[in-house]
Chains A and B, each alone.
Chain A
């Protein structure tokens, strides 16, 4: 019995040394296997019980079990200690949070589409549908049906790109007014965004291709005040709640009365002579609008005694230039990754 106890003491001493020497969980596991495993040292000692007189065996068993319990408990403490040390070590780490981020591989929507979508969303919220059209249109839809006579200068081929005698790249989205009204009975409420073409030399303010958003509302009781209401709302949606909108008389063959629509320059908020966005005028020109000309309504077979309507056409690039403070319209088609990334 005392011999067994001595052995146990030795085992225990070596166990304590091993535990103390273990610095991580794997080392502790090794200690557990070496001492408490199936063929570990404690097992070896336990085998010595068989050599003891039967009367001593129960006590010897108790002594060994007690030792095992102590060892298990020591191992648990050691595990906890090592784990805590690991936590402490990790928690002691710190980083420079100002270090530049690692950018994800993200995609993006083009700023022109983004502005277009925001404008469309505003109108859809108010019950408008959105229609798209083709870019090559017969002159009937681009001119005749829009009350632009055959002798009008816009039809001479100086402003528009012609494909044939009668086909051209649409210079505005207004053909969608005619197409929508011809295929639907009133009332009608649509916006039609899309690409248009004009024979403009390319510079910082002009591209020969650009996007327009056309709007058309025809129903009973629609008047100019409604046009002002909707377009004022649009400008506030796009540029901020304090935007003011100005309607100036103008001339378009397909509207009467007609208006040019301006909004306050969101950059200088008024007359700052040095402002590069508005040229110092304090206003940004958005495009044309007006009450649909009775000749246009008659052309599509709408009863002008019952129905009135308004239409407008805004340049989307112009909206985007203004919204993002972009200096040069060519950036939209330059495919510069930096440009696309900045506005993504």
Chain B
């Protein structure tokens, strides 16, 4: 909201420095987005044209005699065409400083000119918002009075942000009250007495029927003797400084009151309201209304309208209609100062994609009492313009007195850690407009009628803190008591990230929301997505329609971008649409690497990936889990493994399906591991096994087995057969080819054999190996390669 400081000064004395005022507002909870400084203007005074003569030497110039309250009128030549005798106008006297001009004595075509009459633009006001030519001031302005001072033309304008709970402060008066409380400076309030006391002429009393509970209060008031014209200069300047274009005296009055009090108003041409009877009701389906912006709108029952018995006249709290609009011929008006349910106004505004200054206030639900205050202020201004005000009529619920809130001085100390005397607390609340009854430590507080946000003691504590200043609260380090909340999940993530970083992987963050094109890429690769993706109902764009169902695609995009061997990981959640929406915390890590020229049954990168995966799990859960072969969507069908523990899949890993890699534009082969964080077992402390003091020995065996016999099976059989002499069995080479025959492979294993209490003898070792060979033959169909 744009707030001219000059307008604030009408209600409260403030420091000269705009920055200081802005800082104070921020510390009251109203941050200032911008301080718009005004250009320097000096030496402009109120003058009155007392005579006009033709310029002797120039057809386009006139020579005016202008009285500025001095001994003799000034002689000023002008090219402006809108001048006339008796006009009261701003005069820049000799020595005056205007935004782009310094006024000096000069001759215009031979005639001496002792100053310049100013247009609005020359006073740094928007030219298109004011009359062409010389600006017209109010006839009552004292001659010689400093115009800058009169209008506060050089005071900065603040752009103030108001939180949604404080719609009452979306007003100059509301902010002035805050500053007054904070500075402890008296507040100069305008009167909120409604001057309309006369009974309406017979049969012309406005009536209002509220056919919707979304209108809680409606003040209707008739005025006649209205003359539509230009508003007084002081009002137009104020509106312009506040960023509101002056339109006509009636429209300007409604805008002025709204900016001053936060209460939006609307004027109806009384002639256009059938029987003077207004209805607030739901719009009928398909009902049309041309709004003030000249757009014909088709309404639905969600819209709330103010209507007469025949037709909708306006959108409640949002915008008036064109038919009942005040026009130049209007002489009698009906004022609407109403209170609407904010949700209703907001939804209507969204549905119609229409916003207004009025709706920006109504949608936050104003206090009903503001309707009466707004009507009173409007009536005063209209009477000042010469209108006759009749008695206001209130419809809807009565204004009940606000319920008192009980507050104890120790509530303040308990929440703030700041001890304040009850008297001081009471004073702060009173400065904000609260009624306070003080009884020892107890305060009975009645919130001001214009505020709806004060309902409990904690609300009042915040008010006290704001007036006292948050800075007054001393920072203290709390003694945090013991509690029993576990950090295990976080620690797991932290440890995984640290370990992977140590293994040379870089952590990345990628978007959780993805577009159709990612799904398309997977489909184009000829495989089905591993999970049904979860769709967002209201995405901002098609690129963000689906929640990711795997982390792999994000990493693939990284590899595609880097196009060089890289190692990355991401920890994040993936989502799937199953019977219900599921969310799974996952860690994915992987690398892209140049392909190695090696036999089809051997993949060094796969074994490196497996090594990293095992190292990672050893670090976080202290155990090694045996891999078993599996098939996973997106991974190479022959190069995929899972790690199972207690029947749950801790991890899967393998080479990425080359069709997927290609589909994502990655040139290099990619190896990827997914770890399901919820399945990672708790860390188990490993036990130390001391080495034997006696030397061990080993035997290498070259076995020939079928393809599907795994290294793990062979090792297990051998280990079991060797028994307690077995220190280790490990496969270390594999070969497939014509020498070993179709469907068979050669597998080299090394068995390490030893004892803890003596040196093993060759005979013992040989006997153990013979047991192993026999078991391998019997259980795995393995023969010794010769």
Instruction: Report the Cα distance A341→B567, complex, angstroms.
Output: 12
A249 & B508 in contact (Cβ 8 Å cutoff): no
Q: Mark B410-447, 1 if CB is under 8 A from A, else 0.
A: 00011111100000000000000000000000000000
Closest-by-CB residue of A relative to B478 is: A226
Q: Does B598 contact A (CB under 8 A)?
A: no
A257 & B462 in contact (Cβ 8 Å cutoff): yes
Q: Does A199 contact B (CB under 8 A)?
A: yes
Q: Which residues of the partner chain B approach A157 to less than 8 Å between Cβ atoms? A: 537-538
Interchain nearest-CB distance for B678 vs A (Å): 11
Within 8 A of A (CB), among B434-466: 456, 458-459, 461-462, 465-466
Q: Which residues of the partner chain B approach A134 to less than 8 Å between Cβ atoms? A: 573, 583
Within 8 A of A (CB), among B398-414: 413-414
- Provided the pairs A112-B509, A249-B29 are in contact, do residues A257 and B567 lie with their beta carbons within 8 angstroms? no
- Provided the pairs A113-B497, A132-B493, A233-B477 are in contact, do residues A256 and B502 lie with their beta carbons within 8 angstroms? no
A337 & B562 in contact (Cβ 8 Å cutoff): yes
Q: Does B741 contact A (CB under 8 A)?
A: no
- Provided the pairs A120-B490, A209-B513 are in contact, do residues A109 and B507 lie with their beta carbons within 8 angstroms? yes
Instruction: Report the Cα distance A193→B493, complex, angstroms.
Output: 12
Interchain nearest-CB distance for A260 vs B (Å): 8
A190 & B504 in contact (Cβ 8 Å cutoff): no
Within 8 A of A (CB), among B544-559: 544, 547, 554, 557-558
Instruction: Report the Cα distance A260→B26, complex, angstroms.
Output: 10
Q: Which residues of the partner chain B approach A260 to less than 8 Å between Cβ atoms? A: 31
Instruction: Report the Cα distance A337→B558, complex, angstroms.
Output: 9
B490 & A208 in contact (Cβ 8 Å cutoff): no
Q: Which residues of the partner chain A approach B566 to less than 8 Å between Cβ atoms? A: 337
Closest-by-CB residue of A relative to B456 is: A294
Q: Which residues of the partner chain B approach A113 to less than 8 Å between Cβ atoms? A: 497, 507
- Provided the pairs A105-B567, A156-B350 are in contact, do residues A230 and B573 lie with their beta carbons within 8 angstroms? no
Most chain B CB inside 10 Å of its own CB: which residue of A109, A135, A169, A224: A224
Closest-by-CB residue of B relative to A132 is: B489
Interchain nearest-CB distance for A58 vs B (Å): 49
Instruction: Report the Cα distance A178→B31, complex, angstroms.
Output: 30
A195 & B573 in contact (Cβ 8 Å cutoff): yes
Instruction: Report the Cα distance A184→B415, complex, angstroms.
Output: 22
B540 & A219 in contact (Cβ 8 Å cutoff): no
A189 & B493 in contact (Cβ 8 Å cutoff): no
Q: Which residues of the partner chain A approach B506 to less than 8 Å between Cβ atoms? A: 107-108, 337, 340-341, 344
A109 & B501 in contact (Cβ 8 Å cutoff): yes
B537 & A107 in contact (Cβ 8 Å cutoff): no
B343 & A256 in contact (Cβ 8 Å cutoff): no
Interchain nearest-CB distance for A261 vs B (Å): 10
Q: Which residues of the partner chain B approach A245 to less than 8 Å between Cβ atoms? A: 475
Q: Which residues of the partner chain B approach A110 to less than 8 Å between Cβ atoms? A: 507-509
Interchain nearest-CB distance for A182 vs B (Å): 12
Q: Which residues of the partner chain A approach B498 to less than 8 Å between Cβ atoms? A: 109
Interchain nearest-CB distance for A15 vs B (Å): 45
B29 & A225 in contact (Cβ 8 Å cutoff): no
Q: Mark B565-599, 1 if CB is under 8 A from A, else 0.
A: 01111001101000001010100000000000000
One of B480-488, B524-532, B692-700 contacting the partner: B480-488
Instruction: Report the Cα distance A228→B163, complex, angstroms.
Output: 22
Q: Which residues of the partner chain B approach A195 to less than 8 Å between Cβ atoms? A: 512, 572-573
One of A32-40, A47-55, A76-84, A121-129 contacting the partner: A121-129
- Provided the pairs A188-B483, A249-B29 are in contact, do residues A308 and B415 lie with their beta carbons within 8 angstroms? yes
Q: Mark A240-253, 1 if CB is under 8 A from B, else 0.
A: 00000111111100
Q: Mark A296-336, 1 if CB is under 8 A from B, else 0.
A: 00000000000010000000000000000000000011010
Within 8 A of B (CB), among A172-203: 180, 184, 187-190, 193, 195, 197, 199-201
B581 & A136 in contact (Cβ 8 Å cutoff): yes
User: How many pairs, one residue from A and one from B, have CB atoms within 8 Å of each other in the complex?
Assistant: 229
Instruction: Report the Cα distance A268→B501, complex, angstroms.
Output: 33
One of A3-11, A22-30, A159-167 contacting the partner: A159-167
Instruction: Report the Cα distance A162→B547, complex, angstroms.
Output: 11
Q: Which residues of the partner chain A approach B554 to less than 8 Å between Cβ atoms? A: 335
Q: Does A106 contact B (CB under 8 A)?
A: yes
B459 & A229 in contact (Cβ 8 Å cutoff): no
Within 8 A of B (CB), among A203-250: 208-209, 217, 219, 222-226, 228-230, 232-233, 245-250
Q: Which residues of the partner chain B approach A189 to less than 8 Å between Cβ atoms? A: 480-481, 483, 485
Within 8 A of B (CB), among A89-128: 105-110, 112-113, 117, 120, 124, 126-128
- Provided the pairs A128-B480, A157-B537, A188-B485 are in contact, do residues A106 and B504 lie with their beta carbons within 8 angstroms? yes
Q: Which residues of the partner chain A approach B573 to less than 8 Å between Cβ atoms? A: 134-135, 195
**Which of B363, B473, B503, B583 sits near A107, CB closer than 8 Å?**
B503
Q: Does A151 contact B (CB under 8 A)?
A: yes
**Which of B164, B413, B476, B504 sits near A226, CB closer than 8 Å?**
B476
B485 & A131 in contact (Cβ 8 Å cutoff): yes
**Which of A129, A251, A257 sits near B485, CB closer than 8 Å?**
A129
Closest-by-CB residue of A relative to B505 is: A107
Q: Does B534 contact A (CB under 8 A)?
A: yes
Q: Does B361 contact A (CB under 8 A)?
A: no
- Provided the pairs A195-B572, A232-B475 are in contact, do residues A209 and B27 lie with their beta carbons within 8 angstroms? no
Interchain nearest-CB distance for B222 vs A (Å): 34
A224 & B581 in contact (Cβ 8 Å cutoff): no
Q: Which residues of the partner chain A approach B581 to less than 8 Å between Cβ atoms? A: 136, 163-164, 167
Q: Which residues of the partner chain B approach A249 to less than 8 Å between Cβ atoms? A: 27-29, 462, 465-466, 470
Q: Does B388 contact A (CB under 8 A)?
A: no
Q: Does B166 contact A (CB under 8 A)?
A: yes
Q: Does B688 contact A (CB under 8 A)?
A: no
Q: Does B511 contact A (CB under 8 A)?
A: yes
Interchain nearest-CB distance for B178 vs A (Å): 10
Instruction: Report the Cα distance A201→B476, complex, angstroms.
Output: 39
Q: Does A259 contact B (CB under 8 A)?
A: yes
**Which of A217, A250, A257 sits near B416, CB closer than 8 Å?**
A257
Q: Does A43 contact B (CB under 8 A)?
A: no
Q: Does B494 contact A (CB under 8 A)?
A: yes
B486 & A129 in contact (Cβ 8 Å cutoff): yes
Q: Does B638 contact A (CB under 8 A)?
A: no
Instruction: Report the Cα distance A129→B488, complex, angstroms.
Output: 9
Q: Does B536 contact A (CB under 8 A)?
A: yes
Interchain nearest-CB distance for A142 vs B (Å): 14
Q: Which residues of the partner chain A approach B477 to less than 8 Å between Cβ atoms? A: 126, 226, 229-230, 233
- Provided the pairs A190-B485, A332-B509 are in contact, do residues A201 and B540 lie with their beta carbons within 8 angstroms? yes
Most chain B CB inside 10 Å of its own CB: which residue of A105, A107, A233: A107
B166 & A251 in contact (Cβ 8 Å cutoff): yes
Q: Does B346 contact A (CB under 8 A)?
A: yes
Q: Does A130 contact B (CB under 8 A)?
A: yes
Question: Which are the 7 A-B pairs with shortest beta-carbon distances?
Answer: A225-B417, A249-B29, A257-B462, A223-B417, A127-B480, A226-B478, A129-B485
Q: List 29 A-B contacts (CB under 8 A).
A: A117-B494, A131-B486, A132-B490, A132-B585, A134-B573, A136-B581, A136-B583, A151-B343, A158-B350, A163-B536, A163-B547, A163-B581, A188-B483, A208-B544, A224-B415, A224-B473, A248-B26, A249-B462, A251-B165, A256-B462, A257-B465, A260-B31, A293-B458, A308-B415, A333-B509, A333-B511, A335-B558, A335-B568, A340-B507
CB within 8 Å of B: which residues of A?
105-110, 112-113, 117, 120, 124, 126-132, 134-136, 151, 153, 156-158, 161-164, 167, 169, 180, 184, 187-190, 193, 195, 197, 199-201, 208-209, 217, 219, 222-226, 228-230, 232-233, 245-251, 256-260, 291, 293-294, 308, 332-333, 335, 337, 340-341, 344
CB within 8 Å of A: which residues of B?
26-29, 31, 163-166, 342-343, 346-347, 350, 363, 413-418, 456, 458-459, 461-462, 465-466, 470-471, 473-478, 480-487, 489-491, 493-494, 497-498, 500-513, 534-540, 544, 547, 554, 557-558, 561-562, 566-569, 572-573, 575, 581, 583, 585
Besides A228-B474, A251-B164, 4 new A-B residue pairs in contact (Cβ under 8 A), listed by A number: A107-B506, A109-B507, A230-B478, A256-B459
